[in-house]
Structure 1
Amino acid sequence: MATAAQTATDSTLMLESVRAAHERIADAIVRTPTLKSITLSEMTGADVWLKFDNLQFTASFKERGALNAMLMLDEDVRERGVIAASAGNHSQGVAYHGARLGIPVTIVMPQHTPTVKVQQTESHGATVVLHGERFDDAQAHAYELAAERELTFVHPFDDPDIAAGQGTAALEMLEDVPEIDTLIVPIGGGGLISGMGVAAKGIKPGLELVGVEAELYPSTYSKLKGLNLPCEGDTLAEGIAVKEPGKFTLEVIRKIVDEIVLVSERDLERAVSLLLQIEKTVVEGAGAAGLAAMLGHPERFRGRKIGLILCGGNIDTRLLANVLLRDLARDGRLARLRIRLKDRPGALYHVAKVFDEQQANIIEIYHQRIFTSLPAKGLITDIECETRGRNHLQRLIEALEEAGFGVTPVELA
């Protein structure tokens, strides 16, 4: 079995290889814009520029590296085909550009991969093989199939040619905004930050390179610090939820990354919501990690000229809806109030009257008579409502209490 790196003519990652990759792929990818966010700059106290790589055809930076690696394959290797293991953005990039180049593509995914992801990959002409419970099982099977069928394995990150392709995003950013002095880049397996870092520091040696990982998956942070931190849990940033970074990429990261910061799920949710509200752009959790780092570590980046890459926009619509609603709740614009009242005619009318007086909109009402610790004549009503924010919500609660009702806001975790 061969990998894309082993079949390439040059397996060294340096500024020249990133520039060569950009020349190679430029006519087949979107040269996404790098734009200043005035509002985010004011919020964070830094100059913030956003690289909208969620506007690639597959909505992810991953196709940069996949295309570069496949373009470097010999003709006979292309004819036999390539194989990859991925249930996410890498599979889309390999499948889409493989179809464009006439390269047969096989993608191995875990058995329980959502149907929509399977269908999206198949729509690009790839053959999808479902195998195993976890990604590790799928990847092991992909290596087996590669050996059996003489296919070339296209690694999602641990490959100099993949990293060189990903690094082309940094070339574009610094060409558009040369004054950027700090890049904040998400870290999963390490391909993106390796390529972008080598390119950026090659162009501007004094530039600061900061990596970002989710608190639940601090794999590279842990390796560099000599720690043994757990990597598990449901993170919004599943695109960077990697338990083991690449061997090649880890060594590059060790040499060029100035610092790695960890971000909470709350900051990831807030970042996704802000990018949709302020920039009107849909970004997945991993793609919003750079902004989450600025929200979680404001003093660290204040006063800097920051470049953030919005590296992906593939987020499930139902999950996005949950994130937005939770953010409204944290801002006090959406609330659930648990109200204690007596079970008698007109009680709910008097509650609703207070809402009307305070101009708060009632969305849902839930009555609870049975499963409560109140006396038999007691009643709990949960009311979901919309307000104009925290101050308006507090005035509503005070008005309800003045009217004789016991009120408990239901808080989010």
Structure 2
Amino acid sequence: MEWIQPLTKNKVSERKRQGAKVTWGLFLFISLWITGIFFVKTASAAQIGESNLSVFGYLSQAYANSSGGQVLGIPGDGTTDYRTAALLFRYRMSHQGTFVLQLFHERLGESPVQEDHSVEMDWIFYQHQLLDSLSIKVGKIPLPNGIYNEIRDVGTILPFYRPPSQFYGEGSFSSEAIDGVVFSHSIGIGNGWELQTDVYGGEWDFVYVVDGVVTPARSKSAFGGEIWLQTPVEGLRFGIGGYRSTDHDVPVAAPGEKQYQKDIHASLDADFEQFLFQAEYRRSESKNHTFTDYYGLAGIKLFGKLGLHVLAEVATLDLPTLVIPGFDLNDIKLHRDYAVGLNYKFGSDVVLKVEGHQLKTLNSEDPVVPIFMDPIKVKYYIVSLSTSF
């Protein structure tokens, strides 16, 4: 839900002064990655049996270019400063207990919400199996939120470089993890049907971007859940979820005022061997705004290792408390994205993607487009190579 504008120049200068930190952080990240690979291969070669420690990782490196305006950090002269990478460590402490830690690195080109993303602690939590069908996670945990939230950066799985940008957010108005607790329950309900339920509570940080100013905010007292119904047809499932939170330090609210927010979403996920179709709907409400987003995504395996994907996403915004004489701030056409992409799988662990997007959007970072004006037309393309182990 990225509906208003870029950072000031002094913020960009501040990021440049943090270049040394980024370099050292990236060095640390690569060192850990190599160490992890070395450990796994050495343990396997020594045939010491099953280890309690498992190491996973992924990397997506891209070149991106835009025309008509800068969006999602993609400038008109192109950038290779565009990637995601992570290392995930999973240690089995006992039959019931597991400790999980994920280190994450991301670059977003010239995005105004680009932070010092050298290496950050993406997840860190303890999972305990209470019963065969019931578990609890405590710490900083992936937020159960739609089809892609937990795997939003794993390029070897994603149809495009990223999941739909407005539904899942990219740097602002969204969170990927919750500081708190998640209860997960799975139960078969007969004839191949299965019900998977997550209930969570806690809080998380996010970022507001209004009139060129980036403001850190925090959602507290959040409570929500998500339910997935797995059908007897392998690969076909339906989901519904939502949460309620109390947001603090929101710049569009009066000083010291809390903003109460409700969010609901619904998902259809049909992922088959030769064909993919997905659709999701989200509605987020507070006293100051109503944000609505929906998308459809389809894919087909053309032949061999080549696949074709198409995407259409639409986002609208209502601002009932904002009054600008002569302008209607209800049903604002915030963002439309129409995309097509080709994926070539060299193997299950290496994927090349070429994709093009055509937008009508108010989320342009340069030029800045006031919320009461008409959307502008922007095109961008991304070429990326993803690998995982």
TM-score by length of 1: 0.22
Structure with the largest fraction of strand: 2
